[in-house]
Amino acid sequence: MLLGTFLTGVAAVGAASLVSPKSRKYLLGDVEQDWLANELEFDQLLADGQTVSLKDGSFVRVSGFSANETNSA
């Protein structure tokens, strides 16, 4: 019981620290200055929510599939 209370407190403090924009930027970094932003080839997600524009000017279409989809003939 004491361990559960402690873990709940740690989770609450962690969540509370992400509420403030200043602490969130300190803990997670700024997206504009993040090193990963320079490593990835993605430029932007287009309005259709499925097409990604790449930095070299090409496009990639993204689609998802669910294991629950069935086709009946």
Domain positions in the chain are 1-30, 34-65
Mind listing the pLDDT tens digit for each residue in 7-29?
999 999 888 888 888 887 787 77
3-state secondary structure of 62: coil
Are the CB atoms for 60 and 54 separated by under 8 Å?
A: yes
- Rounded to whole angstroms, the Cα distance separating 48 from 63 reads 11
Q: pTM score, two decimals?
A: 0.41
Structure tokens at 7: 């873990």
d(CA 18, CA 31): 15
pLDDT digits (tens, 9 = 90+) for 29-73: 776 666 776 778 888 889 998 999 999 999 999 887 777 766 665
DSSP state of 38: H
